[in-house]
Amino acid sequence: MRSEYKKWHEVLSAEFFGAGNALQSTVLYVDAEIERELAERVGTGLAQAVAGELNWSDPDRSLFSRIQYECEVWERQGSAVPPPSLPVLALSVLAATRMVSSEGMLKTNFYGRWIQLFGEQPSSSRANKLEQAFQDVAVMWEKLDIWLEQTGGLFGTSTVSTDALYWKIGYPISQALVRGSDRQVLTRFFAATRLRPHNPDEVSERELLRRLRVWTAGRDRHLSPRLMEELASAPDTGEVLIASLVKRLADEWDGTLHEPEREHRRRAVGLRLVVADRGRRLEWLAEACDGIDETHVAAPGGRTFTLRRAYGDVYEGLESLHPSWQQLGHGLHLEGDDLVLEWAPQEVLLLRLHPHLGEWVSTEYFEPGEQHWILAADSALRAVRSMVDALGSRTVREAPAPVLGWKLFKGVRAVNGLAFSRTLDRGGDHTHVLEPQIRHRAALSGGLRIASEYRAGAGVAGHFLRGGAPDLLLPASDSPDGRVEVVLDGRIEKLRADPRVPFPLCLIPLEEGKYRVGTAHSSQVFTLHDGLHEGPPPGTGTLGYPCDGTARPELSDAAGSQAAIRGAEAPRSIRLPHTELLRSSVLEAVLLDPHGGVRQAKRQSVPAWMACRLPAQALGPCLEIEVPGGYVWLVYRTAARWSVRALAAVEDIPPPVPAPDNYAWAYAVLSAAPRLQDPAWLDYVAAAEAVARSQGA
């Protein structure tokens, strides 16, 4: 190997695979400018150095045979430094960066540029040989990728990618797509889209691409024209180079900004906007970063904020920074030594209710079926109005926003799947905010989950109450109509579903049992139950109002035998009135005591509230009599006859002691005299007869 080639190898190794690249995604990006800069250090151009290693003389050996040999030696000796192929690979990237339509070449023509770099004439035999030999260069790329993987990130993590369309030439193109400045911008994008470091949520390739398109829509984010062009032309289906490249960068992203000059120290987080108090107040929300519990950030004007990690893994300290229309419209950038917080300006914002904060918080994607709010700048009002109208949701209403020049749309939902798909397909300036996440696997969402403690294991995604089966979130489709076939327990449902709309499993009548749902390629298992407990489930009745004379005003733990109000369970605190019920059409009724006392029971009509609210069967004839203490018999008359009922255990009924003039008492007893043969009653009958006789005498 000549010294120029060796020098290039050293320079490229230091530049792209040095200590500073350890555990960072590395991209071997070499364009004309970088090549010039590095060439000054080496003293020879890259193409010249590589050309000097080519084997044109020995037809039995390949064009890159010398470098291939060096690579074999390198492998045998333990691969302790970057592979000797590095200058060849860098040259192929340089060729990829030149892929533009000019000089009679199309922008898709990689080999034309590759041949041109070696100064060969197109279609010449040497040109053909260079093109054929690229097969060997592709193998070198694959080896670089494997070496980076095997060294565990010590020299950086690989972003070498390709796809079915580009295949061999995809490798250099994958490196040529992302300039250093693009990488910086992309780390800002990852922060702004609130990706978590190393993408533990597995946000899919296409979802990242979708979000990147939304993030760059209508705004210059200073991504290179090449990357923007690839982004715009990437098809929506199939494997896409730009998507897999962004995904690799996202998977390796450690949450810091790509700032080599700061040694990649600063963490970056996208700010979220909170619409608090039912739409009356705005706040900024910053989610806390691991390892940074307290830090300072400053606004461009110099105002400094001290951030402290608070409950819910968010920072407090931004309360006094009131979101203004300028900030919403032009963005907000707060930075400190450890942290950069950024709000990317947007005209239309999607908000969803935060389950823990209980407020409406800006979000990256739409969840069809769930309720959202949209905060829209006046300039976008017409478009947003027409977009939400197209959803056909009856609950949408416009409300003033707590910031000048903006409006709130509350209650935005996509209940009607068809209208939702149509709205998305119709397109428009702001339709992107309605786009749901694009997934690469089937997932379950929502539903009425039970027995969550049994969730893990056995490949079951969850247990649900029958009638509350979850929604099936379908993976993106590769078919031309964009639809996927839903498979339920091996049966393909007739419906081909739009993967953008959650498939509502609760609308399929399903019995109790275990189900596998999804597509032919990706599925989830869940179970349905009517119930799991024979008796009250654990936890039932564990809260209550402890009672000690009176109940405590606040609810607290009330397990055990302590006297407490739990639901409608209450300790006996008072003596309840004794009531008697007569379920017949009673014409008159009296209560009798042993001393000749008579109390007339009032007839009652059906109360108005009962007539209004209860079914007719509950309104049959009934007399409910409250029995004061001391009364022992109830005597009553229906259309057919008189009757008598004891109001206490007969052995507890005292003997009668009426006064001789208790005629009404005697009349009542005698009316029902023959209706009971109990000795206690017969004593009363005898006493009544005595009173009656005294009246007669």
Partner 1 sequence: MTDTGGLLLRWVSEQGAGSLSEVKQGMWWLAAKHCPDFEPGAPGRWLRDAVSLAYMDIDWRNRRWCAAPPVLTRLPQARGLAVLTGSRTAAFDARVTQAVQDGLLELFRVTSARPLRDIPLPQSLIVQFDNDAGLARWAAELGVSYTPCFALQGAALLPPLSPGAPTSVPEFGKPLEQYDLERGEYRPVQRPRSEGLYRLKRRDSKRVCQVLRDGQWYETSHEQGVYLALETRSQAADVLRWRPEKDCGRERFGTLFVDWGYPLPDLHRRVAVMCCGLAPRINAQAENLAYDNVPYAIANKIAQSLGQHLGENDDE
In the window 280-299, what residues touch partner 1 (CB under 8 A)? 280-281, 283
DSSP 595-628: TS-EEEPPP-PPPHHHHHHS-GGGGSS-EEEEE-
- 292-351 binders of partner 1 (CB under 8 A): 310-312, 314, 316, 319-320
- Contact predicate 335/266, CB 8 Å: yes
Number of residues in contact with partner 1 under rule CB under 8 A: 100
Selected binder of partner 1 within 415, 419, 510, 670 (CB under 8 A): 415
Which of helix, strand or coil describes residue 551?
strand
Selected binder of partner 1 within 43, 119, 537, 628 (CB under 8 A): 537
Write down the least CB distance from residue 314 to partner 1, Å.
7
In eight-state DSSP terms, residue 299 is -
The stretch among 25-33, 163-171, 193-201, 275-283 that binds partner 1 (CB under 8 A) is 275-283
- 629-648 binders of partner 1 (CB under 8 A): none
Axis-axis angle for helices 3-17, 32-42 (nearest 10): 120
Nearer to partner 1, 300 or 355 (CB): 355
Write down the least CB distance from residue 457 to partner 1, Å.
20
Report the alpha-carbon distance of residue 347 to residue 530 in Å, rounded. 46
List the x/- string, 55-94, binding to partner 1 by CB under 8 A.
----------------------------------------
Report the alpha-carbon distance of residue 13 to residue 562 in Å, rounded. 75
Report the alpha-carbon distance of residue 532 to residue 449 in Å, rounded. 12
> Is residue 79 classed exposed, middle or buried when 0-12, 13-18 and 19+ CB atoms within 10 A define those classes?
middle
Which of helix, strand or coil describes residue 469?
coil
- Contact predicate 83/8, CB 8 Å: no
Classify 649 in phi/psi space as left (phi over 0), alpha (psi -120 to 50) or beta: beta
Report the alpha-carbon distance of residue 643 to residue 510 in Å, rounded. 56
- Contact predicate 168/92, CB 8 Å: no
Cα 113 to Cα 98, 99, 121, 174, 196, distances in angstroms? 7, 7, 11, 16, 39
Q: Up-side HSE of residue 560: CA atoms within 13 Å toward CB?
A: 5
Report the alpha-carbon distance of residue 382 to residue 428 in Å, rounded. 11
List the x/- string, 582-621, binding to partner 1 by CB under 8 A.
-x------------------xxxxxxxxx--xxx-xxx--
Nearer to partner 1, 228 or 353 (CB): 353
In this structure, the dihedral spanned by the alpha carbons of residues 579, 580, 583 and 587, taken in order and rounded to 10 degrees, is -100
Selected binder of partner 1 within 571, 655, 660, 674 (CB under 8 A): 571
Write down the least CB distance from residue 290 to partner 1, Å.
19
- 153-172 binders of partner 1 (CB under 8 A): none
- 231-260 binders of partner 1 (CB under 8 A): none
Write down the least CB distance from residue 627 to partner 1, Å.
12
Selected binder of partner 1 within 3, 324, 326, 395 (CB under 8 A): 395
Selected binder of partner 1 within 33, 149, 236, 277 (CB under 8 A): 277
Q: Up-side HSE of residue 506: CA atoms within 13 Å toward CB?
A: 17
Write down the least CB distance from residue 493 to partner 1, Å.
18
The stretch among 161-169, 220-228, 391-399, 678-686 that binds partner 1 (CB under 8 A) is 391-399
Which of helix, strand or coil describes residue 316?
strand
Alpha-carbon torsion 322, 326, 328, 332, what sign? negative
Selected binder of partner 1 within 59, 538, 560, 696 (CB under 8 A): 538
Write down the least CB distance from residue 403 to partner 1, Å.
15
- Contact predicate 360/351, CB 8 Å: yes
Pairing of strands 523-529, 460-465: parallel
The stretch among 21-29, 83-91, 246-254, 571-579 that binds partner 1 (CB under 8 A) is 571-579
In this structure, the dihedral spanned by the alpha carbons of residues 182, 188, 190 and 191, taken in order and rounded to 10 degrees, is 170
The reply to whether 467 sits near partner 1 by the rule CB under 8 A is: yes
Write down the least CB distance from residue 378 to partner 1, Å.
24
- 511-530 binders of partner 1 (CB under 8 A): 529-530
Write down the least CB distance from residue 404 to partner 1, Å.
17
Write down the least CB distance from residue 683 to partner 1, Å.
24
- 539-558 binders of partner 1 (CB under 8 A): 539-545, 547, 550-556
Report the alpha-carbon distance of residue 198 to residue 247 in Å, rounded. 10
Residue showing tokens 């327990």: 489
- Closest listed residue to residue 502, CA positions, set 417, 395, 394: 417
Selected binder of partner 1 within 622, 627, 646, 670 (CB under 8 A): 622
Report the alpha-carbon distance of residue 27 to residue 97 in Å, rounded. 13
Nearer to partner 1, 281 or 496 (CB): 281
The stretch among 153-161, 381-389, 566-574, 627-635 that binds partner 1 (CB under 8 A) is 566-574
Which residues 6+ apart lie within 8 Å of 640 measured at CB? none
Axis-axis angle for helices 679-696, 663-671 (nearest 10): 130
Nearer to partner 1, 109 or 363 (CB): 363
- Contact predicate 556/543, CB 8 Å: yes
Nearer to partner 1, 56 or 311 (CB): 311
Write down the least CB distance from residue 550 to partner 1, Å.
4
Write down the least CB distance from residue 583 to partner 1, Å.
6
The reply to whether 139 sits near partner 1 by the rule CB under 8 A is: no
- Closest listed residue to residue 371, CA positions, set 405, 404, 414: 414
The stretch among 8-16, 102-110, 119-127, 389-397 that binds partner 1 (CB under 8 A) is 389-397
Nearer to partner 1, 234 or 388 (CB): 388
Write down the least CB distance from residue 101 to partner 1, Å.
50
The reply to whether 534 sits near partner 1 by the rule CB under 8 A is: yes
- Residue-level length of the chain: 697
H-run or E-run covering 72:
helix 65-76
The reply to whether 568 sits near partner 1 by the rule CB under 8 A is: yes
The stretch among 16-24, 66-74, 100-108, 277-285 that binds partner 1 (CB under 8 A) is 277-285
Nearer to partner 1, 608 or 697 (CB): 608
H-run or E-run covering 666:
helix 663-671
The stretch among 135-143, 259-267, 366-374, 662-670 that binds partner 1 (CB under 8 A) is 366-374
SS3 content of the chain, % helix, strand, coil (to 5): 35, 25, 45
Q: Which two tokens stand for residue 508?
A: 């399929």
The stretch among 92-100, 330-338, 387-395, 427-435 that binds partner 1 (CB under 8 A) is 387-395
Nearer to partner 1, 152 or 531 (CB): 531
Write down the least CB distance from residue 89 to partner 1, Å.
51
Write down the least CB distance from residue 201 to partner 1, Å.
18
The reply to whether 561 sits near partner 1 by the rule CB under 8 A is: no
